[in-house]
Structure 1
Amino acid sequence: MIIEEVIGNIETLDKRALHIERVFLESDALLKRIQRVVTDHGKELGIRLKDQAKLRDGDVLYLDERNMIVISVMEDDLLVIQPTSIQQMGEIAHQLGNRHLPAQFEGRDMLVQYDYLVEELLEQLAVPFKREKRKVKQAFQHIGHHHD
């Protein structure tokens, strides 16, 4: 079966009385438009998304009257940064930006993928953080940029 578009997201679709199969992906695989995957029930699928569509946790790839196939993102190893002031937030954001590290935000938490150098930087700057495994809703995406 070839999947060319996402039907919706499990959070907004009615899922009563449906059998749900899951495709487990690492977060960076969410950026791939073309890939071959296998559900937790052993069903092989080809994904060939149109345009620049990106997958998200909970996206529904297939749906009929009894079955649904859903993307489930695996947990990432993250640094959860919790600055105590706007100044501290600005300083760490500037430092991470200089390293071209993508970040995501959930409430008051800044999330970056684990990197021992960033961990050392946070300790040096006395910025509160913790390392944890957490599921992200979308992939960490690097933004292309070159210095002239």
Structure 2
Amino acid sequence: MPYRCTTILPHGTGGDRTPIDVVVLAHDQRHVRRKLLHMKHDDVVMLDLKEPVQLGQGDLLLTETGETIEVIAAEEALYEVTPKNRLHLVELAWHLGNRHLPAQIEGERILILRDHVIRDMLTGLGAGVREISEPFHPLRGAYHGNGHHHHGHG
């Protein structure tokens, strides 16, 4: 019988609880309300929340029996986009936003999912683009409701 979870403990609020297992989820799998999640060691947990949430790296799913399951952000195939300067970063972010692409915008780089057409556009705009693989924490758009939205940026 699967575990059942109706409560999320945001990263850093679980005290000294030791998780019994982990769920590894890509960025688009971490926006959830009700879903059966497969844990790393072949068990399952039924997530059944009142409202959709954006799960973050290190969040804990609190089961009805008091155990916790840690959320791990999966590594994803990404492009690391590097600008010439700060103004160029803003310009590149505008072009990506204009195409409604999920993007993780940081001080010196932007991370996006790999897409050769977008890569060609960015290199044409003078950006540095290289393939990387790491957890992806894109910004949530303004039209995605008012649920629990936080992102782990290690």
CA RMSD in angstroms comes to 2.5
Match of 1:121 in 2: 121
Distance 2:108 2:4 in 1: 39
* Deviation of 1:123 (Å): 1.6
More strand, by proportion: 2
Give the alignment's TM-score, normalised by structure 1. 0.79
Distance 1:140 1:8 in 2: 17
Q: 1:66-122: CA deviations, max 9, x gaps?
A: 953111121111111111223322321222122111211234221111111111012
Q: Is 1:31 the counterpart of 2:69 in the alignment?
A: no
* Deviation of 1:12 (Å): 4.8
Match of 1:93 in 2: 93
CA contact 2:78–2:131 (8 Å) conserved in 1: yes
Q: Which runs of 4+ in 1 moved over 3 A?
A: 11-16, 138-144
> Can you give the 5+ residue segments of structure 1 that lack an aligned partner in the other structure?
none
Distance 2:69 2:54 in 1: 16
Give the alignment's TM-score, normalised by structure 2. 0.76
CA contact 1:5–1:50 (8 Å) conserved in 2: no
> Can you give the 5+ residue segments of structure 2 that lack an aligned partner in the other structure?
144-154
SS at match of 2:51: coil
Kindly tell me the number of residue pairs found equivalent between the two proteins: 140
CA contact 1:62–1:70 (8 Å) conserved in 2: no
